[in-house]
């Protein structure tokens, strides 16, 4: 158990009515999340976002507007036993692809990551997406006036 709060950055990449998601598998089946990951010491948030997206999707992103901020305190959610003591702050940025013609390719996948997928925004409610709070938010018009704090949600 750690007493440190981890900073994680996530990319919201939307094109042609689809969103770029990392695809994972566990004992309950397939689930999805936004590409991204933990910021390293001495690394800017923007650099962490670019690095993590390249590792997980093989795509170069251009970070844009901060859209959502989330706390994740594991002991308050269903994964408390799998990630005891975890506390993470997630910063979710709207991103564009540096090259829209490149297809995603996983180079350094996270644990349980089995791929990358463009998912139709209209299908998000059918997917097991984490955090779940994003399902409705991503289907609606994205915020333009500043980041929305989601709270401690999963």
Domain ranges of the chain: 6-142
pLDDT of 98-153, one tens digit each?
987 767 776 666 767 899 999 999 999 999 999 999 998 987 778 888 889 898 88
Global model pTM greater than 0.75: yes
Calpha distance 88→154 (Å, rounded) = 11
Q: How many CA atoms lie within 13 A of 135 on its CB side?
A: 15
Q: What pLDDT score does 80 carry?
A: 56
Inform me whether the pLDDT recorded for 2 exceeds 80.
Answer: no
Query: CA of 60: how far to CAs of 95, 96, 98, 109, 115, in Å?
Result: 10, 9, 6, 15, 16
In CATH terms, is domain 6-142 a member of 3.90.79.10? yes
Contact indicator for 68, 92 with CB cutoff of 8 Å: yes
pLDDT of 61-77, one tens digit each?
999 999 999 998 877 77
């Amino acid at each position: 158990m750690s007493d440190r709060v981890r900073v994680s950055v996530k990319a919201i990449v939307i094109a042609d009515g689809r969103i770029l998601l990392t695809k994972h598998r566990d004992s309950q089946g397939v689930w999805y999340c936004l590409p991204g990951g933990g910021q390293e010491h001495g690394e800017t948030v923007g650099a962490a976002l670019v690095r993590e997206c390249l590792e997980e999707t093989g795509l170069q992103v251009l970070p844009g507007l901060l859209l959502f901020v989330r706390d994740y305190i594991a002991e308050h959610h269903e994964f408390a036993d799998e990630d005891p003591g975890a506390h993470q702050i997630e910063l979710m940025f709207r991103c564009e692809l540096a090259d829209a013609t490149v297809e995603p390719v996983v180079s350094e996948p996270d644990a349980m990551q089995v791929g990358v997928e463009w998912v139709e925004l209209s299908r998000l409610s059918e997917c097991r997406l984490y955090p779940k709070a994003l399902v409705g938010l991503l289907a609606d018009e994205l915020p333009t006036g500043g980041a929305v704090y989601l709270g401690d949600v999963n």
